[in-house]
Amino acid sequence: MSDSPKTERTFIAVKPDGVQRGLVGDIIARFEKRGYKLVALKMEQATEEHLKKHYADLSAKPFFAGLVKFMSSGPLVAMVWEGLDVVKQGRAMLGETNPLNSKPGSIRGDYSIDMGRNICHGSDSVESAKKEIQLWFKDSEVSNYQRANDCWVY
Ligand code: RTP
């Protein structure tokens, strides 16, 4: 991967509630239509141990145990998306952590009303994206490829 801003990457997950509600395709479509490139994708039921690592920064929060239990309660879809400013733009596309503060047009603003069932996760900085991508994917699971239509996006 080059250091071009066009190859910035973020980790996006459709949480177990998003999978159960059949929102995987919609969420993928939003990122694809925006022009972002999917470079890794898998469904898995994550273990509590893995999720404790993912949410290590929140370990002191009162909602931590419930969050880990919920996130491990069913399969989720883990993805890596690539493109210009994708970390910040991805967070904007997701909406606010509390869906009630999320604007219509965002994923959470369109599909959720409860903080503990807010459909999706997105890395909050380029640094945490790098850590999260490493936690969820082996290098060999992330693809480097050109799209024929990249010249119509950039
Ligand atoms: P995420 O990591 O899932 O993308 O969410 P986020 O950055 O917007 O929010 P964060 O503070 O990292 O919290 C992670 C997830 O924990 C749940 N949460 N519950 N007060 C609460 O009950 C509470 N606060 C946060 C949310 O599901 C949030 O997405």
- Residue 103 and residue 112 in contact, taking contact as beta carbons nearer than 8 Å: no
Q: Is 122 in the pocket of ligand 1 (CB under 6 A)?
A: yes
Side-chain-facing half-sphere of 118: CA atoms under 13 Å: 21
Tokens matching residue 129? 């994206």
Calculate how far, in angstroms, residue 1's C-alpha sits from the geometric centre of ligand 1: 30
Beta bridge partners of 9: 82
- For tokens 């490829």, the residue is 145
Is 121 a residue of the active site?
yes
- Tell me whether 0.95 is exceeded by the ipTM: no
Calculate how far, in angstroms, residue 34's C-alpha sits from the geometric centre of ligand 1: 25
Inform me whether the pLDDT recorded for 152 exceeds 70.
Answer: yes
Please give the Cα distance from 57 to 104 (Å, whole number): 29
| pTM score | 0.96
- Residue 86 and residue 9 in contact, taking contact as beta carbons nearer than 8 Å: yes
The annotation status of 91 as a binding-site residue, yes or no, is yes
Beta strands in 3-153 (DSSP E): 9-14, 37-44, 76-82, 120-122
Tell me what percent of the residues of the chain surpass a pLDDT of 70.
Answer: 99
